[in-house]
Amino acid sequence: MLKIIARQLTKCIRENDTLARQSGNEFTVILQSLTSLPDAISVVSKIIKLFKHPLEIGKYKLFTSVSIGISFYPADGNKSETLIKNAETAMHLAKDHGKNNYRVYT
């Protein structure tokens, strides 16, 4: 399932962006040279739309959801560790507000 999700996520990002599995069922996406919130929300919207449909694996339909946290360089941190930590903070807030949701770190 994680491999299928990773393949689908790559369809939502540009070739020069980075997708990595953070841990368990968490992925990190680094959007290079993206500086505006509307541009980030455009990508996030594609990802959320992707998760509204069940994954079909064999005869099974698996329903998944996504919680996304957004942080920006350098406003939210100038080190990768800080940016990831702040995005995770925003992601946990998104989880608290329901499925297929995102929050921006503030």
> In whole angstroms, how large is the CA radius of gyration of the chain?
14
Q: pLDDT tens digit string along 68-84?
A: 999 999 999 999 999 99
- Residue 34, exposed/middle/buried by CB under 10 A (0-12, 13-18, 19+)? middle
Could you give the CA distance from residue 44 to residue 80 in angstroms, rounded to a whole number? 20
The CATH number of whichever domain residue 49 belongs to comes to 3.30.70.270
- What is the per-residue pLDDT for 35? 79
- Note down the domain range covering 16: 2-104
pLDDT value, residue 88: 96
- 63: burial class by Cβ within 10 Å (0-12, 13-18, 19+)? exposed
Averaged pLDDT for residues 56-71: 94
Q: Residue range 40-66: average pLDDT?
A: 94
Count of structural domains within the chain: 1
